[in-house]
A and B are shown apart, each in its own frame.
Chain A
Amino acid sequence: MFDFLKSPTLTFQEFISLAGRATINIVRRPFHANDMMIQMDVIGVGSLPITVLIGFFSGAVMALQMSRALSQYGATGQVGQITAITLVREMGPVLTALLVAGRNASGIASELGSMKVTEQIDAMRALGTDPVKKLVTPRLLAMCCTLPLLTILADMIGIIGGFIVAVPMLRLTTTEQYWNNAWRSLEYNDIAQGLLKPLVFAYIIALVGCLYGIRTTGGTQGVGRATTQAVVVASVWIFVFTFLITRVFVNL
């Protein structure tokens, strides 16, 4: 009767088990530090330009959207606050994560997927290397280090983008008021959820990418399938978790 639930439940179990093994391996020798540095470069440095672009435009469009609503209430002075809060709480983490999911969940899934179908992962085990330690843990760690940093960057650039729309372009407020307003409005609660979210998303992106890669079957076609699935599944979970985390923080 509940057969349709069997496959998602199994996948979820596999996900939890992979998450556990990858996390435990963080404190176990040997450390594949070199692999981690390479991944940080691929994920972090590789995503820099596009993070800056997306951050800038999401801040700018936020200020633009709010300008009309705020002027109706004669509250255009609050534009800094609104931009900062929406960016730090929601837009920065989610947009950066979606972007990195698109770039790197797919990248990880296709890389590990091709390794799976060419039996490199089997060869690794046969030759005495734990693929979770060698492939999954470095990617997870690299993602956990870089995604929060990318998010902070996106937040900052976004607030600058909002500034450019609010002050030089639309003259909604003064430079000083914008920055004062933006800075003062951010509370401990905002910063906490703004940093917790990218950490959770980093887990989701890295592990979904790895899981779908490692589970790949069916040759090169299978690699394509795994790649698409990884991006879709990671994106959906990002939205589900941003809701859950926000739900918790709203009550605090």
Chain B
Amino acid sequence: MAADYVEWLRREGRIVIVGASLAGLRAAETLRAEGFAGELTLIGDEPYEPYDRPPLSKSVLLGMASPHHTELPHRWEIDAKWRLGVAATGLDPTAKRVRLADGDEVEYDRLLIATGVRARPWPKPEEARLDGVCLLRTCEDAADLYRRLKAGPRRVFVIGAGFAGSEVASACREMNLPVTVAERAGAPLVGALGGVIGAVAADLQTENGVDLRTHVTVTALEGDPAGRVRAVHLSDESVVEADVVVVSLGSLRNTEWLQGSGLGAGPRGVACDAGCRAFDFRGIVTDDVFVAGDVARSPHALFGYQFLSLEHWGNAVAQAETAAHNMICHGAERRPHLWMPAFWSSMFGVNIKSVGVPPMGEQLMVTQGSLAERRFAAVYGYQDRIVAAVTFDNTRWLEFYQRQIEIGAPFPVEYPTMDRRPEGRQPVDARFPDPSLPTHGPMVTLSGYSPADQQLVFHPARH
């Protein structure tokens, strides 16, 4: 019976994918590549073909790529019905129907949720509306920001020094624009990589001419009579004049449309099992609803089966492929999504990469190179195991450390490594902020063992 259903589904079933971006596209391609011959519908609220986001904060801001030409290459002919420019507004899993903003309803036999995240807006709406206050998530955001940077503002102000904010600051400096960065924590990238590495990132910024303000929050954005942003007020009572303000306070998961659907969906994302099947709010796994990409939170074997949310490009691709595979195969052929978290960024000419889950680490050891030279590999330890690694301009060693994480290699690292410096002989406190305090942009979040999501962990930033 079940086997027959899968055969039927593969032949003439209806699969609907909500969210037509990286995860949605890669899933659609995998479905076709693996022989799905039925009806495929992609629903996306952006009016564009799927495009790539990482360039938006890098080459696009430098004018090296056009914001409207970062389309994702199609790796496979997918023959799908595209419903672009229309949002899904509701889900009825019993009737197997997705409601659309234009009043339409689309029926499915299996559904993939890939609605990703959006940029967290400035919390005061009247200030957020000021001309010159920008977010950066979509190609339109990037086009707008690029245009404003091109126009040569007197000063750009970046609120939040996570990866996205730091990349924007880097682009500004490359364009020789004065830029101020405000960060609530003691340094940039603290949420993602901890205070020790954050200090390196701080030096990198200040040496490149960024006016970096740490341990401060933004209290207000001030506009001029014409409704343009004019100045930024900080918690240390200082006021900085700026005509472009980039709000870079992390992200919000696009799960509102699932309210009332009965799925385990909320501000932390949509919970799913290792096979990408969504949980309902009671913690029972569903059969016909799958999840992939930034919106998903799924348990990871390497990290004690805690639910993990990742805002990583590579994760979106891998999870989409696994979800698609599992959607159209028999139970025994299903695969778990066991992707090793991996993230890259580049700023101020430095390539930063990490594997594993740095925020899980309590201690840190620089195993190769030196923090002062900003060329190093460092590992994070938690309960005597290596759980993550980060490299600055030392990418080629990362594979080794990934393997160390996979095999649960012991921490501290006792064995000798090439280019080990005296500073790397002893573990130090990695200096992550208290996890109960809100930070923005850790890019990877551990969120306990419960598939249900009734409690809020991400508080709106109180800047």
Q: Do A and B come from one complex?
A: no
> Which A positions have Cβ atoms within 8 angstroms of B?
none
